[in-house]
Amino acid sequence: MDEPTRYAEGMKTRRAVLGEAYVDKASASVSEFNRDWQEFITRTAWNDIWNRPGLERRERSIIVLSIATALGAWGEFRIHVRGALNNGMSRDEIKEVLMQAAIYAGVPAANHAFKEAMSVFAEVDAEG
C-alpha cells in the first residue's frame, strides 16, 4: 500500500472512530509544525494498526482506554472515550474497564479516569 492510500484509509477509520467533528477540528489546526506528525499518525496508527484484521474495533478501544488510564494520558483518554462509544461500547462497559484497571494500574489512575469519563459523557449529552 503506498503512502497516499495509507493516509486515505487511515483517515476513514480515524473519522469513523473519533467522529467527524473531532477530526475536522484537528485538521483545521494543522500547521507547518505538526503536519508531518498528523500525517504520520493517520498513516501509522489509523491505517497500519487500526485497520488490521484480528480484533474488533471495540476491542481496540478497550486496549487504548486501558493504556491511556495506566499512563495517565488524559487528553488521549478523553478522545478515546468518544471513540469507544462510537465503536459500540456502552457507558457501563467503559465503567467495567475502569474498575478492572484500578486493580492493575492503581486507584489514583482509575479514580481520575472516572472523572474524565463523566466529563466526556456530559459533553456528549450537551451536544444532544
Given the rule CB under 8 A, which residues bind its own copies? Answer: 1-3, 31, 33-34, 36-37, 40-41, 44-45, 48-50, 52, 54-55, 59-60, 62-64, 66-73, 75-76, 91-93, 95-112, 114-115, 117-118, 121
Rounded to the nearest whole angstrom, what is the least distance from the CB of residue 21 to its own copies in the complex?
A: 18
Q: CA 43, 44, 48: angle at the middle one, nearest 5? A: 95
Rank residues 24 and 40 by Cβ distance to its own copies and give the closer one.
40
> How far apart are CB 47 and its own copies at their closest, in Å?
11
Measured from the CB atom, is 21 or 49 closer to its own copies?
Answer: 49
For its own copies, the closer of residues 95 and 123 by Cβ is 95
Query: What letters, b where the CB count within 10 A reaches 16 and e where it falls short, cover 32-68?
Result: eeeeeebbeebbeebbeebeeeeeebeebbbebbbeb
Rounded Cα distance between 71 and 65, Å, is: 10
Give 23 or 70: the residue with its C-beta nearer to its own copies: 70
The DSSP call for residue 56 is -
Dist CA 101 CA 72 (whole Å): 12
